């Protein structure tokens, strides 16, 4: 049955809330309107509304969106994007900016393949013929988006997992290499949150950080941010902490001139969760029991999305804790159990 626009929007807000709790989604509501300083536009304080185009320096801009979309001006009238938003609607809003400014989109550079970052790819490629580039394994996921829910679930995903919030439409992505990048745009490896995630640095000093950082509000409210590789994530955060730039643009946190304190806050949260898991595993416990206790401890509500997003993340923590010698794995009565060492 067709949904009314309002009902669809309400449903969409609710699902974003669910995704947010695992760090993939984004704050809706009040976060859509928030204060940032925009020096280059000559504004000290400004309220940014959804899909507004914000210029940060001469060539580097972003479009406010549930997952911020970077826009870099190349040789006039050409521009490229860093990610494409969560869906076709985001793609349409991007296109309005292209049309209004007489810009020609040459390429979309995807930071990683989560659905909220590649969701506008197909529409924009269809409309503009732009090329799409994604790094390493992210390119395979972008070309074959069923890999995302399949990976998260660890098998064939049932239909509750095969919707646009976990599975974007496929797009014709090419492997991102240094040669594909326009002059003045540099990719920065940022693995951890997802397999081969990258960020980008522009020559006028803006660093797009993709999903390295969750905001304090998100972490305080939802606690367990999605990640794939704990060790790589912590190393990435240490590098981010030491980075310098005119502006940092994290996809799901506030644009800032200094992200070192927020990077440390994210590191501390990872270490806290690891501590919590080892605390839970006093006696041998199976994955499902560990996950249940974490949901109870953090006041989270279980459903298919939470199960796969938080569940996949906790499996990664268990592997990291085992490989680091803090947990051991036992097979008892044909069950895989985890126990503190
Ligand atoms: Zn994201």
The alpha carbon of 205 and the centre of ligand 1 are apart by a number of angstroms equal to 22
Q: Which tokens sit at 314?
A: 């906790």
Please tell me the distance from the alpha carbon of residue 32 to that of residue 48, in angstroms, as a whole number: 7
> Phi and psi (nearest 5°) for 285?
-135, 145
**What pLDDT, on the 0 to 100 scale, is given for residue 112?**
98
User: Which CATH number is correct for 5-276, 1.10.1040.10, 3.30.950.10, 3.60.15.10, 3.40.50.1220?
Assistant: 3.60.15.10
CB 266 within 8 A of CB 215: no
CB 133 within 8 A of CB 108: yes
The alpha carbon of 212 and the centre of ligand 1 are apart by a number of angstroms equal to 9
Please tell me the distance from the alpha carbon of residue 14 to that of residue 301, in angstroms, as a whole number: 13
The alpha carbon of 333 and the centre of ligand 1 are apart by a number of angstroms equal to 39
Please tell me the distance from the alpha carbon of residue 323 to that of residue 51, in angstroms, as a whole number: 43
**What pLDDT, on the 0 to 100 scale, is given for residue 48?**
87
Per DSSP, helices labelled H in the chain are 5-20, 88-101, 115-118, 121-128, 136-143, 147-153, 216-222, 230-242, 260-280, 287-298, 304-323
Among candidate residues 104, 106, 280, 265, the one with its CA nearest the CA of residue 185: 106
The alpha carbon of 329 and the centre of ligand 1 are apart by a number of angstroms equal to 32
**What pLDDT, on the 0 to 100 scale, is given for residue 27?**
33
The alpha carbon of 341 and the centre of ligand 1 are apart by a number of angstroms equal to 34
The alpha carbon of 252 and the centre of ligand 1 are apart by a number of angstroms equal to 7
> Helix, strand, or coil here: 190?
coil
For the entire predicted model, the pTM comes to 0.87
The alpha carbon of 336 and the centre of ligand 1 are apart by a number of angstroms equal to 31
The alpha carbon of 226 and the centre of ligand 1 are apart by a number of angstroms equal to 9
> Phi and psi (nearest 5°) for 186?
-125, 140
CB 24 within 8 A of CB 114: yes
Render pLDDT for 211-230 as a digit per residue (tens, 0 to 9).
Answer: 999 999 999 999 999 999 99
**What pLDDT, on the 0 to 100 scale, is given for residue 15?**
36
Among candidate residues 81, 42, 36, the one with its CA nearest the CA of residue 208: 81
Q: What angle do CA 278, 232, 87 make, to 5 degrees?
A: 105
Please tell me the distance from the alpha carbon of residue 63 to that of residue 210, in angstroms, as a whole number: 13
**What pLDDT, on the 0 to 100 scale, is given for residue 8?**
43
The alpha carbon of 19 and the centre of ligand 1 are apart by a number of angstroms equal to 9
> Helix, strand, or coil here: 219?
helix
**What pLDDT, on the 0 to 100 scale, is given for residue 29?**
30
The alpha carbon of 222 and the centre of ligand 1 are apart by a number of angstroms equal to 15
**What pLDDT, on the 0 to 100 scale, is given for residue 44?**
34
> Helix, strand, or coil here: 104?
strand
> Where are the domains positioned within the chain?
5-276
**CB neighbour class for 136 (10 Å; exposed up to 12, middle 13-18, buried from 19):** middle
The alpha carbon of 199 and the centre of ligand 1 are apart by a number of angstroms equal to 12
Q: What angle do CA 182, 185, 191 make, to 5 degrees?
A: 120
Q: Which residues are 44's β-sheet partners? A: none
Q: Which tokens sit at 91?
A: 């793609």
CB 209 within 8 A of CB 250: yes
The alpha carbon of 155 and the centre of ligand 1 are apart by a number of angstroms equal to 22
Q: Which residues are 38's β-sheet partners? A: 43
The alpha carbon of 135 and the centre of ligand 1 are apart by a number of angstroms equal to 15
Q: Which tokens sit at 155?
A: 């098998």
The alpha carbon of 331 and the centre of ligand 1 are apart by a number of angstroms equal to 36
Please tell me the distance from the alpha carbon of residue 138 to that of residue 173, in angstroms, as a whole number: 9
pLDDT in tens, the chain (341 residues): 333 344 444 444 333 333 333 333 333 332 322 333 444 433 333 478 999 999 999 999 999 999 999 999 999 999 999 999 999 999 999 999 999 999 999 999 999 999 999 999 999 999 999 999 999 999 999 999 999 999 999 999 999 999 888 999 999 999 999 999 999 999 999 999 999 999 999 999 999 999 999 999 999 999 999 999 999 999 999 999 999 999 999 999 999 999 999 999 999 999 999 999 999 999 999 999 999 999 999 999 999 999 999 999 999 999 999 999 999 999 999 999 999 99
**What pLDDT, on the 0 to 100 scale, is given for residue 164?**
86
């Amino acid at each position: 049955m067709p949904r009314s626009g309002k009902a669809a929007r309400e449903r969409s807000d609710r699902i974003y809330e669910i995704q947010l709790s695992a760090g993939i989604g984004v704050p809706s509501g009040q976060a859509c309107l928030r204060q940032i300083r925009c020096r280059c536009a000559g504004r000290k304080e400004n309220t940014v509304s959804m899909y507004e185009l914000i210029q940060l320096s001469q060539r580097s801009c972003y479009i406010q969106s549930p997952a911020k979309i970077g826009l870099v001006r190349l040789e006039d009238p050409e521009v490229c994007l860093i990610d494409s938003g969560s869906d076709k609607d985001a793609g349409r809003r991007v296109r309005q900016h292209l049309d209004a400014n007489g810009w020609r989109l040459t390429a979309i550079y995807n930071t990683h393949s989560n659905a909220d970052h590649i969701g506008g790819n197909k529409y924009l490629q269809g409309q503009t013929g732009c090329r799409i580039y994604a790094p390493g394994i992210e390119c395979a996921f972008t070309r074959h988006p069923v890999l995302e829910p399949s990976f998260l679930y660890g098998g064939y995903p049932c239909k509750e997992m095969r919707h646009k919030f976990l599975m974007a439409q496929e797009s014709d992505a090419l492997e991102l290499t240094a040669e594909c990048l326009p002059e003045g745009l540099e990719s920065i490896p940022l693995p951890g949150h997802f397999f081969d995630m990258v960020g980008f640095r522009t020559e006028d000093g803006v660093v797009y950080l993709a999903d390295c950082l969750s905001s304090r509000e998100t972490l305080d409210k939802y606690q367990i941010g999605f990640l794939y590789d704990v060790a790589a994530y912590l190393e990435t955060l240490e590098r981010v902490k030491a980075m310098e730039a005119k502006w940092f643009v994290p996809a799901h946190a506030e644009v800032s001139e200094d992200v070192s304190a927020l990077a440390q806050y994210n590191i501390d949260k990872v270490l806290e969760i690891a501590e919590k898991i080892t605390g839970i595993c006093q006696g041998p416990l199976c994955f499902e029991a560990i996950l249940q206790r974490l949901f109870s401890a953090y006041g989270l509500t279980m459903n298919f999305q939470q199960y796969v997003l938080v569940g996949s993340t906790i499996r990664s923590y268990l592997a990291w804790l085992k490989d680091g010698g803090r947990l051991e794995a036992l097979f008892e009565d044909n069950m895989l159990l985890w126990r503190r060492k």
